[in-house]
Structure 1
Amino acid sequence: MNIDAPIYLLTLLGRKNKMAQTFGSRLKRAWNAFTNRDPPGKIYYGGGYSYRPDRARMTRTSDRTIISAIYTRIAMDAAAITINHVRLDENGRYSETISSGLNSCLNLSANIDQTGRGMRFDMFLSMLDEGVIAVVPVDVELNEATGEMDIQSMRVGKVKEWYPANVRVELYNEKTGQKEEVTLPKDRVALIENPFYAVMNEPNGTIQQLTRKLHLMDVIDEQVGAGKLDLIIQLPYVVKSDTRKKQALERRQEIEDQLAGSKYGVAYTDGTERITQLNRSLENNVLKSVEYLTNMAYSQLGITPEIMNGTADDKVMTNYENRTIEPIVAAAVDEFKRKFLTKEQRDEKSESVLFFRDPFKLTPVSAVAEIADKFTRNEIMTSNEMRQAIGMKPSKDPKADELRNANISRSNEEAVRQQQIVADGKDADARMLGH
């Protein structure tokens, strides 16, 4: 017992020291949002807002109308398409995605406030609403030798003035929390124009006509719902002289006072007086014009009511993505390629900016098996690529990464070559065990 006691004490002391070190190290590395704060008055956080100041807001002519729903739907679908900074092979084909600042801004984090997808949505929504927007690289590391830009952050700005070689942009400054106007050279700013500018943003375009009609219909609705009675009082005497007119005004005021002061809106009149109520709305063609312009806007933009409510089939969605979404995304990608890549990168065809659309997004589950069989059988995709496309983790079997038709037996040459590879592997293992 005396021999085991020191060992027990040493073991217990070691455990206590280990626990103390672990607790102390955890305490040093711990952080709490409520307790680990600097004392008040030490840090100036800047101006505070009850709403997000850098958020994209539509113009007053498009806000609170059906136009905002159309713009938001198109911007969401365009932002769902992936845009990557890629490396090309010697034939100008996609080889791999480059881990660059531009690719990070487009897919991961565009700035301190927006993710890559959030910035893309802001870009497309502002482009549809404004007609032309500027995507400005804010934090940039410039290589003076090659002229390449390593973009660390970017934001969407509103174009205020145009100059021959420069442009004045209203841009949110995350350092001050204010929107400021800065003048920048055009070759450093991506100026993206809406391909549907003539339909959406021209003063006489279909969308602008529809917006004016919608506002006119809102004015008429406010007048109808203003609470007026629209009464005509026929008095038992001719109102021509000034005295009679004064009596008529007094009688009208008396009836108004009776209705305003009554709990249930009841008034009395003389038996010789006659009251006619105009409780019908004025006939107009505003509603028909709104319906006509809405259908025309849908047809010119390649949109259907089924796309807006989410019940469109794959054929309608394919037509919508090809006619509407593709031109919008291509306009942004071409401008990125023109402004954010050097002339050498474009001429040598070593790098580019491409967009990728998921072809299986609209595919029903019943057709996935048939598509997987055709793609793997015709050696278009490997098994692991197909598994990844449908959301499954890749298989560890080496055959799953081979681009070959698994339904066809291997030739004799392939079988011999495979056997030789297996034999070489066994010989190498035997040599390692021998040593």
Structure 2
Amino acid sequence: MIVLYVLIGVAVLAAFAGLHYYAWRRLVRDATAGPGWPRRVGAAVFVAGPVAMFGALVAERAEAPFPLQQVLAWPGFLWMAFSLYLVIALLVGEFVRPLLRRVLERGAAAETTAAEAAATAESEAASKPEPEVPEASSEPEAAAPTRRLVLARTVGVAATVAAAGVVGNGAYGVLRGPKVKRVTVPLAKLPRSAHGFRIAVVSDIHLGPVLGRGFAERVVDTINATQPDLIAVVGDLVDGTVDDLAPAVAPLAGLRARHGTFFVTGNHEYFSGAEPWVEHVRALGLRPLENARVELGAFDLAGVNDVAGESYGDGPDYGKALGDRDRSRAAVLLAHQPVMIHEAVEHGVDLQLSGHTHGGQLWPGNFIADAANPTLAGLERYGDTQLYVSRGAGAWGPPVRVGAPSDVTVVELASKQA
């Protein structure tokens, strides 16, 4: 198994290096006339970018000093997103390149025709005696950029501008905070008295070296503005330790809902210590549901630990959370990953609320996320159980979203008896 992981890692690194070489060749080597400072600067950028990216990843996972993580995170993670869309734009440019070449060739042909006509006119004029005048100096033809250089520079500039625009817009979409999405979910077992009960679902806030206290405040304000009956924080709240991120998560103490705020772990909590985080959010006023259930009168609310906890002896226990409940009552389950839906179906859950996927976060990553999860985003039914998956409020790695806008979802429960 270790050998397999090593081979996969080598293959990924080789592909990464190959794509960066391709981007360097198109943007730097092909677009510069020869050795000189532009080529040296371009090479330096294509070395510094990947180094910063891997530095940011290693610093976060190795729990390096938090100031160092913050210094590396912004350039490193932004390069991750920028290089992705730069390569995509350059690949699109390969299809545009032949069209541009034809345009340039036609322009050159027109110039040649004009030059020939001018030469003919000069030849005719030369047959007539004219006073001698000094010859005008002309620039060597080689001094003008060749069609190859013009083509390479045009495609390179267009690709760079396109990639920067996509990443800039995606970063703005994350940093301004999530938008509110509203979904109505009918539950057959929900009594009429609970018709219209509103649960604000927030997942994948990912407070860490990039998204900090200011972002947490925007998320809290967005949730409170919906005036929910209950708030569900369904995992991946943080990327880091309690010591480093306690100031960033402090605004969560301001969450307000009539029936309280509940929390379940996501896989990222286990990367930095789930137990300290469970205790910390409890101190902030959130109620952790560690394989536990509460009866809210109209329905049961249960929560299970994330499947990543299995590696730490702290995985989900559906029997403990749901085994002895009255199945005539509606049950809502908080579970970070959508793949947990199959156990929810077996235990007669009516609605599972999840996150984890980010909706793919960066197109075309949505195709990979969709293949790895039963539901990428939104509401779907599995037998008698419905699954709602939020795209999440924040972002992991690059603070950028493309094709997967962030959200806080207000799930309104509807009674079929109403």
Q: Rg larger in 1 or in 2?
A: 1
TM-score w.r.t. length of structure 1: 0.19
TM-score w.r.t. length of structure 2: 0.20
Bigger relative contact order (CA 8 A; separation at least 6): 2
